[in-house]
A and B are shown apart, each in its own frame.
Chain A
């Protein structure tokens, strides 16, 4: 894939592409800095807008928005003690005490520095780990793809906080919805409820838009503004001298940022563990290894650095299993998976060989977005954040709704997709009220068809007397079964470890 480096760099450094990176990063920042709007929701809203773009531009926009949104979540965590995204929870532990101590500027600089470092480490892992993993995927047959899908479904264990049963029910419902339409093997039409528009299956993107946006908008309704807290006044920062001094201090001891970035990347590669677990684990590791652990929780800049470096490391790390195996590690990756399919791209070795230019452009653009976060955050961030948290809800909700409706319509120029989006929104609300998590349903929607195709083909190719044995004979299949079991246990262990550490130190 690195043979395509010249072409990718040429494409990436064109003025149009640089503008896309910049705008998408700023848009992501704005979404992430608004408590209630998540990176997943932002990506779901952006996907339909990428249809009119070529594959590279669309993916670059999504990657940059994702990076910007995770970074943007740090601002409300630091300034108003309200994490913009779940990944920024640990940022508030020390970020807000710094703001109260009049050191908001230093906290923002620390978060920015860490986000850039963590983001770049994640992208480096994506760049160098993905091609060999994708080559391995070339040797996969139907049985292996079935087990890959099962492996992906075990992610549900970590996505379903609270009740594993509810998580698996939600995943099962997603798989049930994915049954609608033409069967992958045999080609007969099933579960369409007599609606001819369903013969091609339930459109995936409108489902995602509805599931992730409508319930959040309904929760927002009833509030007059996004947040009730007021931002602290612009402090007398001393301008460039604080920037120079804080940055100088961080650069002299980059260990925390680098270590946390690596932790975040590794946790990101483990499907399902996600940014919130990564930031908590990194925060605790930074405190454990600090010479002054007693300062954590009271305004220690290393606490902000650890959390932010880790959650941005997850962005690149989480894309490794997605681009190579088609297993989305977290809900935002599931949206990017949908965008890949819309552009006619399938995760796996082909993405790195035939589509090498495009894939490399996408990966490198995320590195560029990580770097772009520095000027955006330091020079625009505070003002932008102040603006977005003050947008009245009565304008924000119809504004987002119009984007969801037009976005869903734009997929096939058909109102049926808008109705699907609306129905998915109502389904999402009902699931929220019943405390059934939505994220596992998305995994079921994505991995259901992969599992079905793999299973059906493996059974057809297996020995006539005992076709099921075809699923257990190959060493690769056995390896994937072991991985699936590990993926069930590891996030649970990481989550338990981070919560035990937090509790024990409180």
Chain B
């Protein structure tokens, strides 16, 4: 129920961001884009209405069995993981692919480790991180001829 309401709201907001950007130069251009935007927003509205109606029928009681099946990612772990990746990407431009990737890989292995941490474990993770990063760098630069940024190592 609440997911339906939020899902509908999400769709309408998403479409709204595009709607305010409309700047067609001909009727033909609008003949496809506008119906797509309108129909998607209408479906979002329908989903919201369905969610509200179901909620009203339940008298505001929390959803139980009828809530759609599925599993959510661990919120805290997801945020941490996205934060590390969010730093990793600009890090590639700043310090180069090898250094940024080594640090991000090591940060992720440390962050995702379950159980007690030790210096020995950190050294082992660092060796794995270095090996993976060097292998990927070699594969792309030497074999696939993709120029990965080297940063200050250049």
A residues engaging B (CB < 8 A)? 49, 51-52, 162-163, 165-166, 168-169, 172-173, 175-176, 179, 183, 185-186, 188, 190-193, 215, 217-219, 221-222, 224, 393-395, 397-399, 401-403, 405-406, 409-410, 413, 415, 418-419, 422, 425-426, 429-430, 432-436, 448, 451-452, 455-456, 459-460
Contact = CB atoms under 8 A, between A and B. Distances in A.
Contacts of A165: 43, 46-47, 50
A466 B74 CA distance: 55
Contacts, number: 181
A176 B28 contact: no
B146 A409 contact: yes
Interface in B12-48: 14-15, 18, 21-26, 28-29, 31-33, 36-37, 39-40, 43-44, 46-47
Given A165-B46, A169-B47, A222-B77, A405 B89 contact: yes
A402 B106 CA distance: 12
Given A222-B74, A224-B114, A398-B105, A405 B88 contact: yes
B108 A394 contact: yes
Interface residues of B, number: 70
Contacts of B108: 394, 397-398, 401
B36 A179 contact: yes
A173 B77 contact: no
A173 B14 contact: yes
Contact of B81 (A397, A434, A435): A397
Given A221-B81, A394-B125, A435-B7, 14 more contacts: A172-B15, A185-B28, A188-B23, A190-B33, A218-B77, A221-B74, A394-B113, A409-B146, A413-B146, A415-B93, A430-B10, A432-B72, A432-B73, A455-B31
A52 B146 contact: yes
A402 B144 contact: no
Choose among A183, A402, A455, A456 the residue with the greatest number of B CB atoms under 10 Å from its CB: A402
Contacts of A452: 32-33
A397 B107 CA distance: 12
Contacts of A169: 7-8, 11, 40, 43-44, 47
Nearest to A453: B32
A363 B115 CA distance: 48
Interface string B82-115: 1001101100110001000100110011001111
Nearest to A179: B33
Given A222-B74, A393-B112, A185 B29 contact: yes
Contacts of B23: 188, 190
Nearest to A426: B82
